[in-house]
Amino acid sequence: MIRRVTHVREIMFKGHGGNIKHIVDYPSDNNSIRGRNNDILDFSASINPLGYPKNVREAIWENFDDIMHYPDIDCSYLRRYIAREAGHSDDEIIVGNGSTELFYLIPRALRPVKGIIFQPTFSEFAEALKCSHTEVVHKMLREEDHFLFHYSKDYFNDEEREIVFLCNPNNPTGQLVEGTVILNMAKQHPRVTFVIDEAFMDFVHEPGKYSVLGEAGTIHNIIVVRSLTKFYGFPGLRVGYLVASKDTVKKMTEYKEPWSVNAFAQYAARAALEDKEFAMKSREFIMREQVYVFDELSRISGLLPYPPVANYLFIKINISNMTSSSLCEQLLRCGIAIRDCSNFTGLNDKYFRVAVRTREENNKLIMALKNVAAQFFKRQDSKPEC
């Protein structure tokens, strides 16, 4: 079957990455990507390019008949394993249907008066706060500071029940905050709850320098949320977890929906976490490829990539007549999807994000970007060579 592009500006490049199924449909009378047979390279979603560990498939298949039964309502088997691996007790852990479920659960249970978000960042933080009728305050990170977070006591009002969402490393900018900075903030502002999204921390070199996962259970106002689907390559299963103090976990558990994590997700997560060799190979692979992609993109006139820390790169466009949306549309004609960042609060139409994939796939992206950038420099309207 032939797929065609539909509503590119409205569907593909707004909202989240990875929406390939929503930008193409069947059948087609549009020749823009005719003959590609569904072969769109998805650089818009930052998922481990090595896929999932082999034992994930085996774990699901071995336990396939469990679909006839309800899943473990408390994810007790998985929680115990995560707790042991993270150095916590299982009553300091909640497992959720992806990290996003947990972001919505936290303000619903804790009822903060005000939520502080440092923009640009993951859009679901603001949506989660709004759903709990929490006042949302956006603190803007500055382009001239390369979107780095710098602590200021003026950010917080310790007289109110405040909650802070901080993505580390940040999505989409890829900037990191050292763990000591987060811990000092939490100690100086004990009435403020700090929710630290460490969804991409597994990809980071020297995570111990930046993660506060170990302290989340002992410092009462720190909650760390982790995703298992990005690093372990199964976002379709939806599984993540948070670590917090026992009292905080107990309170949140009262507001959590039952049976939100299906049996396959629980088996897959446990199997993936057990595969230490896969984790080691993935980190080595990503670190090698992120350096390669950064070096190659840095050579393309008009593109200014930020130094990567995880499995994606944040890139600024420095070509006057090119926008992130126009770049996305041109690349899609080459069978490549990227993430337009213009809908992130605090960003304009000069930023985009790309995932790190395999060397062959990365080279296709690099070549396409070279050709499209050259075309815009020449102010030509013809279809780019891919």
Q: What is the 3-state secondary structure (H, E, C) of the chain?
A: CCCEECCHHHHHCCCCCCCHHHHEECCCCCCCCCCCCCCCEECCCCCCCCCCCHHHHHHHHHCHHHHHCCCCCCCHHHHHHHHHHHCCCHHHEEEECHHHHHHHHHHHHHCCCEEEEEECCCCHHHHHHHHCCCEEEEEECCHHHCCCCCCCHHHCCCCCCEEEEEECCCCCCCCCCCHHHHHHHHHHCCCEEEEEECCCHHHCCCHHHCCCHHHCCCCCCEEEEEECCCCCCCCCCCCEEEECCHHHHHHHHCCCCCCCCCHHHHHHHHHHHHCHHHHHHHHHHHHHHHHHHHHHHHCCCCEEECCCCCCEEEEEECCCCCCHHHHHHHHHHCCEECEECCCCCCCCCCEEEEECCCHHHHHHHHHHHHHHHHHHHCCCCCCCCC
Residues 77, 197 within the same domain: yes
Residues 114, 142 within the same domain: yes
Q: Say if 63 falls within a structural domain.
A: no
CATH of the domain at 269: 3.40.640.10
Report CA torsion sign: 253, 138, 217, 82. positive
pLDDT digits (tens, 9 = 90+) for 371-384: 999 988 776 444 55
Q: Say if 92 falls within a structural domain.
A: yes
pLDDT digits (tens, 9 = 90+) for 164-176: 999 999 999 999 9
The residue-averaged pLDDT of 75-100 equals 96
Q: Are 82 and 241 in contact (CB under 8 A)?
A: yes
Q: Are 220 and 40 in contact (CB under 8 A)?
A: no
Confidence tier at 285 by pLDDT (50, 70, 90):
very high
Residues 211, 300 within the same domain: no
CATH of the domain at 363: 3.90.1150.10
Residues 18, 132 within the same domain: no
Confidence tier at 158 by pLDDT (50, 70, 90):
confident
Q: Are 340 and 366 in contact (CB under 8 A)?
A: no
Q: Say if 382 falls within a structural domain.
A: no
The overall average pLDDT reported for the chain is 90
- Which of 256, 274, 292 marks a domain boundary? 274
Residues 136, 254 within the same domain: yes
> So what's the pLDDT on residue 24?
55
pLDDT digits (tens, 9 = 90+) for 292-346: 999 999 999 999 999 999 999 999 999 988 999 999 999 999 999 999 999 999 9
Residues 168, 285 within the same domain: no
Q: Are 255 and 318 in contact (CB under 8 A)?
A: no
Q: How far apart are CA 186 and CA 3, in angstroms?
A: 50
Q: Crossing angle of helices 98-110/124-131, nearest 10°?
A: 40
Q: Which amino acid is at 146?
A: H
Q: Say if 64 falls within a structural domain.
A: no
Residues 218, 232 within the same domain: yes
Residues 96, 221 within the same domain: yes
Question: pLDDT exceeding 90 applies to what percent of the chain?
Answer: 83
Residues 173, 92 within the same domain: yes
- Which of 231, 246, 274 marks a domain boundary? 274
Q: Which amino acid is at 358?
A: T
> So what's the pLDDT on residue 159?
77
Residues 244, 140 within the same domain: yes
Q: Say if 385 falls within a structural domain.
A: no
Question: What range defines the domain where residue 312 resides?
Answer: 4-51+277-377
Q: Say if 65 falls within a structural domain.
A: no
Residues 74, 163 within the same domain: yes
Q: Say if 325 falls within a structural domain.
A: yes
Give the CA distances from residue 29 to residues 9, 195, 226, 272, 319, in Å, rounded to whole numbers and listed in that order.
19, 48, 43, 42, 33
pTM for this model (two decimals): 0.90
- Which of 274, 293, 309 marks a domain boundary? 274
Q: How many domains in the chain?
A: 2
Q: Say if 365 falls within a structural domain.
A: yes
Give the CA distances from residue 245 to residues 35, 148, 222, 282, 318, in Å, rounded to whole numbers and listed in that order.
54, 28, 8, 31, 46
Inform me whether the pLDDT recorded for 25 exceeds 60: no
> So what's the pLDDT on residue 39?
77
Displacement of CA 22 from its chain's centroid (Å): 19
Q: How far apart are CA 169 and CA 178, in angstroms?
A: 10
Residues 120, 161 within the same domain: yes
